[in-house]
Amino acid sequence: MEKKEDSNMIISQYVLAVKEIKNAIIDSRYRAARSVNKEVLSLYYWVGNYVSVNSRIGKWNTNAISVISKLLQQELPGLTGFSETNIKNMRIFYEAWCHVLNNKSINYNSTTDIEFKDLLNRQMASADLNDNDWECFLNVGFSNHREIIRKTSTLEERLFYIRRCAKEFWNVETTKFHLKEDLYHKEGSIQQTNFDKTLEEPDFKQRALESFKEEYHLDFINNDDMNERIIEQKVVQNIKKFIMAFGPEFSFMGNQYRLEVSGQEFFIDLLFFSRRLKCLVAFELKRGEFKPEYTGKMNFYLAALDKYVKLPDENPSIGIILCKSKNEEIVELSFSDTSKPMGVSTYRTSQELPEHFRKALPNIEDLKRLL
């Protein structure tokens, strides 16, 4: 019996050894790939800068890039990645980021010891490029950068795709798909939250910001005179539609979700679990304008969820207050003394959508048949 136990112990040690070595191999491969990608981005950014200066304001003629590409092929037979098109893409890459990242001149006479970080100033024109964003930037391949630059119009939108690309290991085809589907505007970025002071882990904070929008179109609600309970019932009746407004990673846990604290009952309008955020998400629905007392109530709900419902390996619960309208200064002041992560979003009903949109949407009865 002892020999069998010893044998099992040895096998378990072998299994543990395999796991540890496997993790070390994967980590090493990741760091090697990241290092290579950083060098590629560094080189392409340098070439883009060089070509931009000489072709835009220098004396190169219109076919200079084509000639240079062919001469490079002759000098370095078998060289890939330096076609005329790709050299132009390097120029686009540099020009898309130089006003944000680059404030340091480059020595065009030497490519020795080029360091990407040395070329780039990590200060945005309007905000800091934080360590998390910088890490994501370096982990995204050039082909993905190229597609993101082509299909986005703002820095905020560009960074949204870079973060998702890095964190979820998108290949080029996946990146193209999400750009075509306009994921940024579907998921958006909620503006009025207290996440900065209530969420400590940077990655979780960023994912939380990206998971909620500033405004939602609840097109299955078509009567502005209904009260909160009727709005809630409409949401429950059309729960699939509601979830799609927030993202398919949300799982519905219930409406009027019951909490018991010190023998008293409390009820949360809607409770979800986000697989992406790995946390509970409580929604409170309000028919009218945001009021300061809503934050106190939500703060209490989140504290109770964290104490009585949240599992040990889950992230802190998040609350979203959905109102018909809001005053930004009142929201900011209301957040000043809250300790739990929450945000305020607004919603629009079908009556507020343009006529041609309303006609294109199914009515409530059609939606019920689909559910």
Q: What is the DSSP string of 262-282?
A: TTEEEEEEEEEEETTTTEEEE
In the chain, where the domains are located: 2-186, 201-370
Q: What local confidence, expressed as pLDDT, does residue 113 receive? A: 42
pLDDT of the residue at 90: 94
Q: Reduced to 3 states, what is the DSSP secondary structure of residue 322? A: strand
pLDDT for res 240: 59
Structure confidence at residue 366 (pLDDT): 47
Q: How far apart are CA 299 and CA 183, in angstroms?
A: 30
User: What is each CA distance from 335 to 75, 164, 294, 304, in whole angstroms?
Assistant: 62, 28, 10, 18
Q: What is the pLDDT of residue 105?
A: 39
Length of the chain: 371
Q: Are strands 279-285 and 264-274 parallel, antiparallel or unpaired?
A: antiparallel
Give domain 201-370's CATH number out of 1.10.600.10, 3.40.47.10, 3.40.1350.10, 1.10.3720.10. 3.40.1350.10
Give the torsion through C-alpha atoms of 182, 167, 199, 264, to 10 deg: 80
| 276: phi then psi, degrees, rounded to nearest 5 | -70, -40
The contacts of residue 53 (CB under 8 Å, 6+ apart) are: 108
The one-digit pLDDT tens for each residue of the chain (371 residues) are: 555 566 667 777 777 777 788 778 877 776 777 778 888 898 899 899 899 999 988 788 889 999 999 999 899 988 889 999 999 999 999 999 888 775 443 444 444 444 444 454 333 333 446 777 888 888 899 999 999 999 999 888 899 899 888 887 888 998 998 898 788 876 656 668 888 889 988 888 878 887 777 777 666 555 554 566 666 676 666 665 666 666 667 888 988 999 999 999 999 998 999 988 899 999 998 888 999 999 999 999 999 999 999 999 999 999 999 888 899 899 999 998 889 999 998 877 655 444 444 444 444 444 344 33
In this structure, is the dihedral angle defined by the CA atoms of residues 85, 87, 92 and 93, taken in order, positive or negative? positive
CA distances from residue 83 to 143, 245, 365 in whole angstroms, order as listed: 14, 43, 57
**C-beta separation of 37 from 139 below 8 A:** yes
User: Please, are residues 311 and 292 in contact by the beta-carbon 8 Å criterion?
Assistant: no
- Cα separation, 147 vs 142, whole angstroms: 9
In which region does residue 78 sit, left (phi positive, over 0), alpha (psi from -120 to 50) or beta (all else)? left
* Cβ neighbours, 10 Å, residue 281: 23
Predicted confidence at residue 225, as pLDDT, reads: 46
- Which pLDDT value is given to residue 222? 58
The tokens for 202 are: 């940077």
